[in-house]
Structure 1
C-alpha cells in the first residue's frame, strides 16, 4: 500500500491580508484585474495570520513562507514591516518573499532594507509583457529589459532568491537569467502557471520546464494548480505534480498552498490531503523533500509549532 506522508510540512507560498488596514489595490471593492482564475471577488475579505493557522496547523503545517501580495507598489517596505509585526505576534510566517521592483530607481535601497530585516529570503516582481517583439513573434517580458536585469543582478549580494511568476511560454527568457546569473536561485511560482490540461498545453509546459530544469540554480513550487471553472482534484493534478518531481527531482520541488487564493476551489485540508495522495506512491524520503526539505533548505523558515 502507498505510504501517506505524516511528517511536518512547510507551506512555501501563502498570503495573509488585513484589507481594512492595509493597501492592496487589486483587492479593493470594485477592483477587477485580469486573473487566471476569473472572478476573484470571493477572496476580497480579511485572511489574517490566525486564519492561516486555523487552516494550516490541523493539516500538519509547521512552518510557512509568506509571498508578497501586490501591496501598494509605492510602499514595498510597508508590507514587509506588517509581516514582521505578524511574525512577532503569531509566529506566522517563518520567512517571506518581499515585493521589490527590480527596475525602480531605489531598488538598491529597497533590497538593502529587506536584507537588514532578517525575515526576507527572496523577492518577487512579476515581469509582465512589453511591446517589444522578437524572433518568435511573441512579446518580451521585463526579463529582457537591461534595467530590470541590473536590479536582478543585485539579488546575489544579499543572498536573495528570485520568485518568478510568469506563464510557462515565457520561460525561454528565464533560461538566459539562469545562465547569466548562476549565483542566483530562481524559484518558479505556481508550477509554471499552467492554465489548462489540454495535451497541447501539457506538451509545451513539459518542454519549457525541462529547459529550465537543466540548470542547477532553479526550483519550482507545486502550487497554484487550480483551473478556472473546475474544482481542485487529485485526478486533475496527479500527472502534473508527479511530472514536476520527475523533471526537477524532489530536492527542487516544494509544496505551496497559495491560500487564500486557491481557497476559491478547495479547502486547505483537502488541498494538503490531495497532495499527500498524489505523492504517496513515491518514497517517504521523496515525500519529505517535497513537503518539507526543499522549502527548509531554500527558505529556512522559523517553525511556528514545535
Structure 2
C-alpha cells in the first residue's frame, strides 16, 4: 500500500455510515500512477484503488482515464502514450483475477495527439491493439486559460484547440474506430466544445467534471456570476445529443472550495450543499440517460474520502426514481463506455 499515512489520517477524521450499500455503481473516472504523478497525489496503484472502492459502496466496475502515466520512454513520440494503455490493460486483467479485488477496471481511455490530424489513425489502431479489449476512447485535454494563475492541461493544449482544423482532422478518426472523446476543459471553453459537438454529431463526447468550474485566480470570489454563464453555455451544449456529462470532479483545488486546506476534510453534507444545485441542473438539462456520477480519484481525494463522496452523490440523487438512479450510478456509464456485464 502506497497511500500517505498522514493524509489518510486526515481523511479518517470524517467517517460516515455508507448509504444504500447494495446499489451497484460504475465509477467512470479514476486514474492510476505507478510512479508519483504529483507530490500532492503520490503513487496511486491498484491496491490504492481497491482500498477506496472497498470502503463500503458497491463499485462493480471502473473506467480508467488518461493521466500521462507510464508512457513509453523511447520510440516515436506519438506512440509513447501507448505505454499507459499497456500498463492499465495489465491492471484491468489483474483486477479481474485477484480474489481480493473490490472492483474491476472495465474500460480504458488513453491519450492520442489529435493535432496529428489524419495520421493519428495509426496511433488509435495501436491503442486498440495493446488495450486487450478494454480501450474505449481518448482524452486530449483542451483545458487552457490566459491567466498565469491557472495551470493549463496536461497535454499542453494551444488556445482554441477544439476549433482548429488540424485537431478536427484527427478528431474525425475517432467515430470510424468506435472511439469516444473525453473532454477536459475549463468552463469558459464550453462554447468551443458545443461547436465541435455540432460539427461531429456521430462522435460520442463525454464532458469531464461538469465543464471544469475554475474558482481560483481571476475567477475567485465570482462563483454566482460564473455559474450564470455556465448555465447558459451548458444549455446550448445539452442540445447536442452526442454529449454526456460526468457529475463530479469539483473537489479539486482549482475549483476554489479550499477543502484541502482545512483541519478536517469535507463531509457529505458539505459536498451536497456546495454541489447539489450544479449536478441537479446538469441532470435537468441532459437527463439521467446522459449523466453519470464520477469520483475523479485520487485527485478529489485531496479534499474528501471515497466513501463520503459517494454518500454525497446518493443524497443528491435521492429524489429521483429507482430507474433514474440506476442510470446515474451505473446504466449511463455502462452504455457510454460499452462495458461488459460482470458474470
TM-score bucket (shorter structure): 0.7 to 0.9
Q: 1:48 aligns with which of 35, 45, 50?
A: 45
Measured in 1, the distance between the counterparts of 2:292 and 2:27 equals 8
Name the counterpart of 2:112. 100
Post-superposition offset of 1:5 = 7.8
Q: 1:219 aligns with which of 244, 259, 281?
A: 244
1:1-306 mapped onto 2 (5 Å cutoff): 6-19=22-35, 24=37, 27=38, 41-43=39-41, 45-57=42-54, 58-71=56-69, 72=71, 74=77, 75-91=80-96, 92-104=104-116, 106-116=119-129, 117=131, 118-129=133-144, 140-196=159-215, 198-226=223-251, 227-228=255-256, 229-230=258-259, 231=266, 233-302=271-340
Measured in 2, the distance between the counterparts of 1:241 and 1:130 equals 24
Residues 175 and 211, structure 1, Cα contact 8 Å, conserved in 2: yes
Residues 16 and 49, structure 1, Cα contact 8 Å, conserved in 2: yes
Measured in 2, the distance between the counterparts of 1:128 and 1:277 equals 30
Give the aligned CA root-mean-square deviation in angstroms: 2.2
SS at match of 2:68: coil
Measured in 1, the distance between the counterparts of 2:120 and 2:338 equals 24
- Structure 1 gap segments, 5+ residues each: 28-40, 132-138
Residues 252 and 294, structure 1, Cα contact 8 Å, conserved in 2: yes
Post-superposition offset of 1:129 = 4.0
Which has the higher relative contact order, 1 or 2, with Cα contacts under 8 A spaced 6 or more apart?
1
SS at match of 1:113: helix
1:104-154 deviations in Å (ceiling 9; x for gaps): 3751211011233321111000124499xxxxxxx9411111111100000
Residues 95 and 302, structure 1, Cα contact 8 Å, conserved in 2: no
- Structure 2 gap segments, 5+ residues each: 1-18, 97-103, 147-157, 216-221, 260-265
1:178-231 deviations in Å (ceiling 9; x for gaps): 111111011100110113472111111111111110011100001211233134
Q: Give the TM-score of the pair, scaled to structure 1.
A: 0.84
Post-superposition offset of 1:77 = 0.5
